[in-house]
Structure 1
Amino acid sequence: MITDLQPLLIEAKSTIREAMAQLNTASSGCLLLVDGNGALRRMITDGDLRRAVIAGHALDADLTVLEPVEPTVARRGLDEDGARRIMRERQVVHLPVLDETGRPVGLYHLGRMSAPILLSAPHMGETEQALVAEAFATNWIAPVGPHVDAFERELAETVEASEAVALSSGTAAIHLALRLLGVRRGDRVYCSSLTFVASANPILYEGAEPVFIDSEPESWNMSPAALERALEADRRAGRKPAAVIVVNIYGQSADMAPILDLCDAHDVPVIEDAAESLGARYRNRASGTLGRLGVYSFNGNKIITTSGGGALIGGDREMMAEARRLATQARDPASHYQHSTIGFNYRLSNVLAGIGRGQLKALDDRVARRRAIFERYRQGLGDLPGVGWMPEPEWSRSNRWLSVITLDPDRTDRHPYAIMRLLRQRNIETRPVWKPMHLQPLFRGADYFTHSERQSVSDRLFLTGLCLPSGTGMTDDEQGRVIDALTEAVAI
């Protein structure tokens, strides 16, 4: 419901010309004609004004020339479902809400009520536009330039890391990390199973063998117990993995201390895939900075975005210099074009780095907003039977990139896919929890180690989890739409 009505209010002494100008700037498609006491007399649309002019009234005539029309109205306290019902029955697209004195206090707009609510849309500001304009003005367009250097420096400072290398995607960062750690064809590389395929595809790029590790219930991320069993199984077989990719899903860190202890004991380097968890923390450290190498993604749906992009984080300056070399086609230091090793076209452009610099300034606000969105969901949906929440262990501060619920099949017969279909009918986007990698046809036959001998946490979360709209640009009214729709869908 629109509650800021001041731009829509107009009095009868105003002219048709003034009403046209005001209507042209109003996003609702209508004006509310009020009397001297502020009470609603009628609504005005563009069609009303055009008909008045066609009837011969001058543009400077006041609005008293409009024929009186009794508007369809509602009283304060009507919910969205009630508003939809009235609008459907009366075949209107605008429904003013009046207080006890007849003054408008809100406006239901069918177009807005039906506008799509996306899962995690980009949220741009004015700073980004200014920095992109600077890149154009100075003609720094290619994947080099001052914005790239500044973005890398500012990102490293934000997460308190030694260095950052800005790249074309988080996937590129994982690929380079494997290269830098010397992963070769035939090597075994462990990876969290509950993740997006981009975490695991680079293993195949290098011809290595993926081994998938289950989640633990406390964080939904890599299970130290499953990892220990995998490492022990490989030790008995006389081998060890070349690297472990730990993925922090939905904005929350894995329990890194026991994972790092296990990997240190077996002399295995850790890549921390923090694509979804920029701004989150593990104890007193920034997510993404605890492994040998860390990875961030700035894809369009992430908590901050460069449209498409990513970064590699690390503390070894020589390794980071090699990452930059590999990311720019591995050109040798010669005056001519000379290449001794395979390289990649993985650098971020100066234009996109400008967007990233502007977005980075808003990171703390984005995290605070996403956490507030999660809390409002929990308060609004907490009483629904069978609805659970992604936990936040005491050692974690999640950025709540996505708010995720689970539906307990023992307490509700509503399946996530059924909820998705019902919300899609209301133009609300939701998504299932990631399908685990060990269930993907691409990785059929890969080794998989469960949290316990009788429990695969990843499978259960995939079957019961649902991601809710969580974008920081989502309004309170839009989130209210989601809560109302979910409440109805679960209660059916």
Structure 2
Amino acid sequence: MKDRIFLSSPHMSDEGYEKLYVQEAFDTNWIAPLGENVNEFERELALNVGSEAAAALSSGTAAIHLALIAAGVGQGDIVFCPTLTFSATANPIIYQSAIPVFIDSDFETWNMCPEALEEAFTKYPHVKAVIVVHLYGLSADMDRITEICKKHNVILIEDAAESLGTYYKGRQTGTIGDYGIFSFNGNKIITTSGGGMLVSNNEEKIKKARFWATQSRDQARHYQHSELGFNYRMSNIVAGIGRGQLKVLEQRVEKKKEIYAFYKQELEGLDGVEFMPNNTWDNPNYWLSSIILNGIVRPYDVMEVLEKENIESRPVWKPMHMQPYFKDFDFIGRGVAEKLFENGVCLPSDTKMTLEDLSRVVETIKSVFNSREEVIVRV
């Protein structure tokens, strides 16, 4: 069996930065959900992305949940959410007993369609918040989406779980809306094994989020709680890994770009192959290099052959409005997200991949096309 090529796996720094910060936590005995690593990771991440304040949390999902609470989302409130995303974007809406309305994508960005968003406001004029996702490291059309949200006086939350290091017109994604969230799950561009960050220029709201994340414990000598709290704070160990990973973020982004460029060079000429969009205002991190297959070769043809070669790949996210749990919630759009799901493939984008690994992926994909062409010739 050939060595496994992963979609996107954890990649610790060659310099061992992570071990230094974790060792410091052990040496100082700060093995807790507080400590210097937590404080510094918040400060360093906020400085890196250009935000005023940050709260280090247990997951990106927790960050979305607290952003919704900060936005005042509660029972029965409407929240607009992209349909083409991972369920972690939508689940916190349900945590708050609110109602998700799913918004379609467009082919130009693969992200929330501004026209569909505007249409949704005509049907639902009373909306509490909008969550926009920067899918696979591609930026959404933030100028238009921000303009629409401001016109309707609605809080905008950016799910930048997949787009740390992506820039929209010179600004990092996650810092353009009212709140931004990042994920450091094991498959993300940098990882803490698990964890997330909530950022905002509203320092008071971030301070409040930290309060909620530590069980809403009041400033009192005894244990007192005047608000509902959550166990969402990041540990000092995990934050130490994050500080080390942040030092190599630029290297990871550069490697992701090289992977995308290699695939594009080698596969773009194949029949029916289209690559994820690249807009002039978007400087993506290319977290996952993804393609659309519109020809005779179908996504599962490619994924099955790759798996036989011990190469991991995935379909594009299945839209939320097609998911069994969310099927009864409203959807606004024209089926673009469904087409992307039906025709999309996420290719291995692991930053540890060698040129040999990349060539192996490409040759395997080409073999699928060659075999199909041979069948057509025989017929």
SS of the residue aligned with 2:175?
coil
Structure of greater Rg: 1
Instruction: Work out whether 1:442 is the aligned partner of 2:319.
Output: no
Mapped to 2, the partners of 1:491 and 1:447 lie a distance apart of 42
Q: Please give the residue correspondences for 1:463-474 in structure 2 after superposition, counting only pairs within 5 Å.
A: 463-474=342-353
Q: Which residue of 2 aligns with 1:355?
A: 241
Instruction: Work out whether 1:398 is the aligned partner of 2:284.
Output: yes
Q: Which residue of 1 aligns with 2:45?
A: 155
Q: Which residue of 1 aligns with 2:33?
A: 143
Identity in percent: 53
Mapped to 2, the partners of 1:179 and 1:472 lie a distance apart of 35
Q: Which residue of 2 aligns with 1:93?
A: none
Shift in Å, 1:230: 0.3
Shift in Å, 1:382: 1.7
Amino acid at match of 2:142: M
Cα deviations across residues 274-307 of structure 1 (Å, max 9, x unaligned)? 0000000010111100110000000000000000
Shift in Å, 1:445: 1.6
Q: Which residue of 2 aligns with 1:117?
A: 5
Mapped to 1, the partners of 2:180 and 2:148 lie a distance apart of 18
Contact 2:138 2:282 survives alignment (8 Å): yes
Mapped to 2, the partners of 1:425 and 1:444 lie a distance apart of 33
Amino acid at match of 1:470: S
Q: RMSD across aligned C-alpha pairs, in angstroms?
A: 0.8
Amino acid at match of 1:206: Q
Mapped to 2, the partners of 1:244 and 1:256 lie a distance apart of 12
SS of the residue aligned with 1:478?
helix
Instruction: Choose from 220, 227, 249 the match for 1:341.
Output: 227
Q: Which residue of 1 aligns with 2:312?
A: 429
Instruction: Work out whether 1:484 is the aligned partner of 2:374.
Output: no
Cα deviations across residues 38-57 of structure 1 (Å, max 9, x unaligned)? xxxxxxxxxxxxxxxxxxxx
Cα deviations across residues 330-384 of structure 1 (Å, max 9, x unaligned)? 0011111000111000011000101000100111111111001000011111221
Q: TM-score, normalised by structure 1?
A: 0.74
Q: Which residue of 2 aligns with 1:168?
A: 58
Shift in Å, 1:489: 1.7
Q: Which residue of 1 aligns with 2:336?
A: 457
Question: How many residues are aligned here?
Answer: 369
Instruction: Choose from 152, 155, 180 the match for 1:269.
Output: 155
Q: Please give the residue correspondences for 1:99-118 in structure 2 after superposition, counting only pairs within 5 Å.
A: 114-118=2-6
Mapped to 2, the partners of 1:195 and 1:491 lie a distance apart of 33
Mapped to 1, the partners of 2:135 and 2:369 lie a distance apart of 25
SS of the residue aligned with 1:262?
helix
Q: Please give the residue correspondences for 1:76-475 in structure 2 after superposition, counting only pairs within 5 Å.
A: 114-125=2-13, 126-235=16-125, 240-408=126-294, 412-450=295-333, 455-475=334-354
Gaps of 5+ in 1: 1-110
Shift in Å, 1:399: 0.2
SS of the residue aligned with 2:33?
coil
Mapped to 2, the partners of 1:198 and 1:261 lie a distance apart of 26
Q: TM-score, normalised by structure 2?
A: 0.96
SS of the residue aligned with 2:318?
coil
With a CA cutoff of 8 Å and minimum separation of 6, indicate the structure with the bigger relative contact order.
Answer: 2
Q: Please give the residue correspondences for 1:51-70 in structure 2 after superposition, counting only pairs within 5 Å.
A: none
SS of the residue aligned with 2:158?
strand
Gaps of 5+ in 2: 372-379
Mapped to 1, the partners of 2:12 and 2:330 lie a distance apart of 42
Mapped to 1, the partners of 2:129 and 2:155 lie a distance apart of 5
Shift in Å, 1:252: 1.2
Shift in Å, 1:490: 2.6
Shift in Å, 1:137: 1.6
Shift in Å, 1:415: 1.5
Cα deviations across residues 289-328 of structure 1 (Å, max 9, x unaligned)? 0110000000000000000000000011111110000000
SS of the residue aligned with 1:189?
strand
Shift in Å, 1:434: 0.1
Shift in Å, 1:461: 0.2
Cα deviations across residues 216-240 of structure 1 (Å, max 9, x unaligned)? 11110000000000001223xxxx1
Mapped to 1, the partners of 2:50 and 2:157 lie a distance apart of 17
Q: Which residue of 1 aligns with 2:375?
A: none
Mapped to 2, the partners of 1:466 and 1:216 lie a distance apart of 17
Cα deviations across residues 76-132 of structure 1 (Å, max 9, x unaligned)? xxxxxxxxxxxxxxxxxxxxxxxxxxxxxxxxxxx6xx1000100110021111211
SS of the residue aligned with 1:200?
helix
Q: Which residue of 2 aligns with 1:4?
A: none
SS of the residue aligned with 1:469?
coil
Mapped to 2, the partners of 1:330 and 1:376 lie a distance apart of 49
Contact 2:268 2:275 survives alignment (8 Å): no
Mapped to 1, the partners of 2:138 and 2:221 lie a distance apart of 46
Mapped to 1, the partners of 2:298 and 2:266 lie a distance apart of 20
